[in-house]
Amino acid sequence: MSNTLLTSSILAKETLAVIENNCAFGGMVNRDYETVHSASMRDGYEPGATINIRKPSRYTYRSGRVSVPQASVDNSVPLTLSQGGADLNFNLFERSLQITDRRIQKKINAAAATIVNEIDRVGLLLAKTAVYNCLNPTGALPTTQALSLAAITGINQRLDEMGAPRDNMRGLIMNPAMNAATVGGFAGLFNGQAKLGRQFDSGLMVDSLGLSYAMDQNVAVHTNGNAVATNINGSGQTGSAVTIQPVAAAQTLTAGTVITLPGVFAVNPQSRVSTGVLANFVVTADVVATGTSIPISPAIVTSGPYQNVTASPTTGQPYVIKGAASTSYGCNVGFHEDAFTLAMVPMATPPDGTGARVEQISHNGYTIKVTDFYDGTNDNVVTRLDVLFGWAATYPELACKYYTV
């Protein structure tokens, strides 16, 4: 590419390559839903468009000869697309340079990094609010070999309990603090010299113990409110809210907080047999002083094909808040790739005659649109880099947060 001038097409390819190589979280999740609407793919999606990700129905086992037909429930998860990007100015001299010129590469890399950062930030913010399984409520970093091993095996255990496949598609996104702790904790644990060498050279965890690893500075932070847990108020409760005794004055239970409910144990999604572990629920909206209802995810389902817990919460007993009051936790996340979906799709392009030059390319599920137009006032070429993407927590039960402080 040493003799390649900076055309719109080349700029698009170079920027897309940087995005693809640096999208940590986005590169580890499901990307299968970007071609579900062929007509939209031909014409380009619009911001605000929704891709409905269909999920298969679930059924209960029939024992005996007599047929018991079960209704098929059509479930889907919406993924809403939003547009964004970065905009560059090139003077006419710069547009005459080679693509390998350092001045051009710096601009491309900086713009692409801005886009990658936002894609990963949005995805990890979703993980914070949508994932309800949660480990390590003390937030202690796994700084020793024993603690690091316990952290990784604990995440894998929770994914096993939730029915996540063992198909080499599990990952763990860590913030810098947890990455540093686990690299140090695992020093010398692996016998393979090649793995030891890569880990030593890069300062990053290498794939091992059933997980792929990535460090990401965008790992979201959750802050517990100052609320003190009260008692469950009412028996037989199911659904996406639980009634409680009022939250005390001047206290708040913040959205994103993880709680457990008395007497409510998680079940295996296929066998519906108790895992022996209290089910985790994430609070989906702030509950302020005098509030008597906590909105939660997942909904409490005690029977049928979508059963996820053993029983309704025990009335008169307190729920438990994971973590300490008014404390912030990094939400590192272990997951199977199907827990989350990232779609990055083509956009509509302007009609001919607008004076804009448009290049739109896709590769490995990543799409970018480059639009050039001339700014006669400043004698510059303005270059828009646009992406249209969206995230969905398709199967949040196949993910688990690991708190660190």
Tens digit of pLDDT per residue, the chain (405 long)? Answer: 343 446 677 778 888 888 887 888 998 999 887 665 444 555 567 778 888 898 888 888 889 999 999 888 878 999 999 999 998 888 777 767 666 667 777 887 888 888 989 999 999 999 999 999 999 999 999 999 999 999 999 999 999 999 999 999 999 999 999 999 998 888 766 545 555 555 544 545 667 788 999 999 999 999 999 999 999 999 999 999 999 999 999 999 999 999 999 999 999 998 999 999 999 999 999 999 999 999 999 999 999 999 999 999 999 999 999 999 999 999 999 999 999 999 998 888 877 777 788 888 888 778 888 888 888 888 888 888 999 999 999 999 999 999 999
Distance between CA 161 and CA 331 in Å, rounded?
Answer: 20
Do 94 and 124 reside in the same domain of the chain? yes
Does 66 map to a domain?
no
Does 62 map to a domain?
no
Do 284 and 317 reside in the same domain of the chain? yes
pLDDT of residue 41: 52
Does 266 map to a domain?
yes
Tell whether pTM > 0.85: yes
**Can you state the angle between helices 8-22 and 102-130, rounded to 10 degrees?**
40
Task: State residue 389 phi and psi, 5-degree precision.
Answer: -145, 165
Do 12 and 124 reside in the same domain of the chain? yes
How many structural domains is the chain composed of? Answer: 3
Q: What are the start-end ranges of the E strands in 288-378?
A: 293-300, 320-321, 328-336, 341-344, 357-363, 366-375
State the CATH number of the domain containing residue 201. Answer: 3.30.2320
How far, CA to CA in Å, does 89 sit from each of 18, 19, 378, 380? 19, 20, 10, 6
Distance between CA 358 and CA 213 in Å, rounded?
Answer: 37
Number of H helices, E strands in the chain: 6, 18
State the CATH number of the domain containing residue 294. Answer: 2.40.30.240
Do 147 and 125 reside in the same domain of the chain? no
pLDDT of residue 191: 47
Do 157 and 111 reside in the same domain of the chain? no
Distance between CA 292 and CA 244 in Å, rounded?
Answer: 5
Signed CA dihedral, 28, 180, 131, 171: sign only? positive
Do 123 and 191 reside in the same domain of the chain? no
Does 395 map to a domain?
no
Does 68 map to a domain?
no
Of 267, 292, 322, the position where a domain reaches its end is 322
Which residues constitute the domain of residue 280?
Answer: 225-322
Do 202 and 238 reside in the same domain of the chain? no
Do 35 and 101 reside in the same domain of the chain? yes
Percent of the chain with pLDDT over 90: 58
Do 233 and 194 reside in the same domain of the chain? no
Amino acid identity at 44: G
Does 177 map to a domain?
yes
Does 404 map to a domain?
no
Do 15 and 118 reside in the same domain of the chain? yes
C-beta of residue 84 within 8 angstroms of C-beta of residue 386 = yes
pLDDT of residue 198: 54
Do 178 and 198 reside in the same domain of the chain? yes
Does 2 map to a domain?
no
Amino acid identity at 201: D
pLDDT of residue 361: 83
Q: Which residue from 56, 80, 158 is spatially nearest to 393, judged by alpha carbons? A: 80
Do 243 and 310 reside in the same domain of the chain? yes
pLDDT of residue 3: 38
